[in-house]
Amino acid sequence: MEQSAKRTIPAVHRFTTDPAIASYDAIVGRSAVKAAVQSVLDSCRASRADAPAFDALRSRVIARLADIEATGLLTVINATGVLLHTNFGRAPLAKSALDAVARLGAGYTNLEYDLDSGTRGDRYERITSQIRDVSGAEAALVVNNCAAAVLLVLDTFARGREVVVSRGQLIEIGGGFRLPEVLAKSGATLVEVGTTNRTYASDYRNAWSPSTALFMRTHPSNYRVEGFTADIDARTLAELARELAVISFEDLGSGALVDLTRFGLPHEPTLAEEITAGLDLVTVSGDKLLGGPQCGIIAGRAELVDRLRRNPLLRALRVDKLTLAALSATLADYAEPERLTGIPLFAMLSATTETLMRRARSLASQLSNAAGVQVEPIGMQSTSGGGTLPLGKIPSAGVAIRASNHTAEELASALRARRPPVIGRIEGGRLLLDLRTVRPDDEAALVDALASL
């Protein structure tokens, strides 16, 4: 009797297809939306009282999703045109990497287990052979990020000894990575040679002493010294280091694995080029021009990598199975040229300005009758960002937005308040949205956001 009086609980799909609830798919993810619905319905089933009406349940689901949103990271629409924006988490991951993370993260893996012998295996073995293939290095190691990679190298080889660096390369990268400070932290003594704009091989030779451990060079990844300059190239430095029996080390940072001129960008030295030049150790970032997860790769001579592996500090810097899964899948995409654009960074880099302009026109035409807001398709320039390619501007297209009674700052702030937030850049009093960094999948959400202005 009591049963028949009970109001029936609405089906899950009535909630997941509700527009207000479905709008959270893009924010917290579909599965989190479904889980929130399920948990509201479960608690309603567990209660002895009548099931509330659909609208009341719907409000509970929305409140729960808003809570999840307030505590978690959000997906943002990056319309800044900066491809590797550190504030937005640098490189988006390839589908192959995401699939690998989902597959391997859901269960147990043979991360450190040798299936042949049934005993403990090596965490870095599989990734080492992939890095060897793309770089030509004898051996490799992966740690938490490139800063950690540099720290591990300095701590292993230069603690209590001297590191010779050109004054023109004493870099600071965003986020508090200043080379002189990292050197001090590792207990190494910095020996600066040359001048800001000119350093010669003879400067390194004259700086050598019996306590020299490393000749180090860094890739000036986020600035250039231009004009009357001289620098010692990787090959010369490697040869000089060999002659004087010290280790040659380069912090390459940006981490290109392929020649970027094929995307119309300026040439960046690749990991393979630096290894071929004879450097003993080279470090690169995983989430810059490599297009993978945050990590730092150390590639170089086997005997030196063995010593890095024996440093107890490695235990504190090691990467987890998810990072290794994502890096491995990303590196596998490099194995075949046609799979390279599966990496979002290269898909974005290979979009032609014609395609982007077509998208910009279509966006503007969908908003042509929005009152008080003017949306104009225009050409613009993207940048790679993330401390890479300081001089490289990439021709792009997008829309310029102007409103009759709002400033560009007000428009930018209104778009940031949207969910998902849309982030553009202000130039010449206009808000610019660069479509090179906006996924075609996000364009509907972008139109909604602009229409709401």
Ligand X SMILES: *Cc1c(COP(=O)(O)O)cnc(C)c1O
Q: Are 15 and 61 in contact (CB under 8 A)?
A: yes
CA distance 232 to 191: 16
Given 285, 323, 328, 353, the residue binding ligand X (CB under 6 A): 285
Q: Closest distance between ligand X and the C-beta of residue 314, in Å?
A: 16
- Assess 251 for contact with ligand X (CB under 6 A): yes
Structure tokens belonging to residue 37: 């619905």
- Assess 296 for contact with ligand X (CB under 6 A): yes
Closer residue to ligand X in complex, CB, 60/217: 217
Q: Closest distance between ligand X and the C-beta of residue 180, in Å?
A: 13
Given 92, 253, 291, 344, the residue binding ligand X (CB under 6 A): 253
Q: Pattern 193-222, binding to ligand X, x per CB under 6 A?
A: -------------------------xx-x-
- Assess 186 for contact with ligand X (CB under 6 A): no
Closer residue to ligand X in complex, CB, 318/402: 318
CA distance 375 to 402: 7
- Assess 168 for contact with ligand X (CB under 6 A): no
Q: Closest distance between ligand X and the C-beta of residue 296, in Å?
A: 5
CA distance 435 to 333: 24
Q: Closest distance between ligand X and the C-beta of residue 119, in Å?
A: 33
Given 147, 152, 188, 450, the residue binding ligand X (CB under 6 A): 147
CA distance 65 to 190: 52
Q: What is the DSSP letter of 108?
A: -
Q: Are 193 and 167 in contact (CB under 8 A)?
A: yes
Buried residues in 247-270 as b, exposed as e (16+ CB within 10 A): bbbbbbbbbbbbebeebebeebbb
Report the alpha-carbon angle 243-244-247, nearest 5. 100
Q: Closest distance between ligand X and the C-beta of residue 113, in Å?
A: 28
How many residues form the binding site for ligand X (CB under 6 A)? 14
Given 92, 291, 385, 387, the residue binding ligand X (CB under 6 A): 387
Residue range at the interface with ligand X (CB under 6 A); choices 2-10, 48-56, 249-257, 309-317: 249-257
Structure tokens belonging to residue 181: 């400070």
Q: Closest distance between ligand X and the C-beta of residue 149, in Å?
A: 8
- Assess 156 for contact with ligand X (CB under 6 A): no
Given 78, 96, 135, 145, the residue binding ligand X (CB under 6 A): 145
- Assess 254 for contact with ligand X (CB under 6 A): yes
Altogether, the residues listed in the chain come to a count of 453
Residue 86: HSE in the Cβ half-sphere, 13 Å Cα cutoff:
12
Q: Closest distance between ligand X and the C-beta of residue 166, in Å?
A: 13
- Assess 353 for contact with ligand X (CB under 6 A): no
Instruction: Give the bridge partners for 426, in sequence order.
Output: 431
Buried residues in 161-199 as b, exposed as e (16+ CB within 10 A): bbbbbbebbebebeeebebeebbeebebbbbbbbeeeeb
> What residue ranges bind ligand X (CB under 6 A)?
145-147, 173, 177, 218-219, 221, 251, 253-254, 285, 296, 387
